[in-house]
Amino acid sequence: MQLLPHPDADAGPVTRLDASASRGSDGGLVFHWELAADLDALRLPAPASSRRVDGLWKHSCFEAFIGRPDEEAYLELNIAPSGEWALYRFAACRIGMAPQPLAPPPDVRCTRRPQGLGLAASLPPLAETDGRLCIALCAVIETRSGTMSHWALRHPPGAPDFHHAAARVLELGPARPAD
């Protein structure tokens, strides 16, 4: 699915950004982002070991906001092109933020190509993600000059706000039990 830049911002060196979410064979979640851009014009973190890091959204970061229909609680997943990640839970929109325990950590893979990069992240099964889900797929892209652009499947009115429930437009069915 194609992500769109926020209407108040220029796409800059990004020519296209696609994202998807699906269920893994283990019932966990699998996310993919494909960025077509002039990578030399972007500020991207250098590859690092996969570890939990706070504040990834302050720079180039790929994100998913994961909630259940008709529930205020949700998870926020941040994945950096470096391989670093963060997962938080919220009781309601921007309320009660806390790190979400995750074991094993997500499997994060980033592939850089001449005209862009691909990023994949797999989350293990979690109690919070076992039912029907509504997901916002989004990204924050930073240029070398420090300009930020915000990308999403849908932008609610006003300033960029990935936390808004109206941004969670991708529906995913419940995990199926193993045969």
Show Cβ contacts of residue 73 under 8 Å, excluding neighbours closer than 6 positions. Answer: 67, 89, 90, 91, 92, 128
Note the pTM of the prediction, 2 decimals.
0.96
- What pLDDT does residue 178 have? 55
- For the chain (length 179 residues), average pLDDT per consecutive 10? 95 97 95 98 93 96 97 98 97 98 94 95 93 97 96 97 97 78
| Res 114: pLDDT | 87
Give the model's pLDDT for residue 179: 54
**Domains and their CATH numbers in the chain:** 4-171 (2.60.40.1190)
pLDDT at 176: 75
Q: What pLDDT, on the 0 to 100 scale, is given for residue 89?
A: 98
Q: Do residues 43 and 59 touch, judged by C-beta distance below 8 A?
A: yes
Cβ(126)–Cβ(57) below 8 Å: no
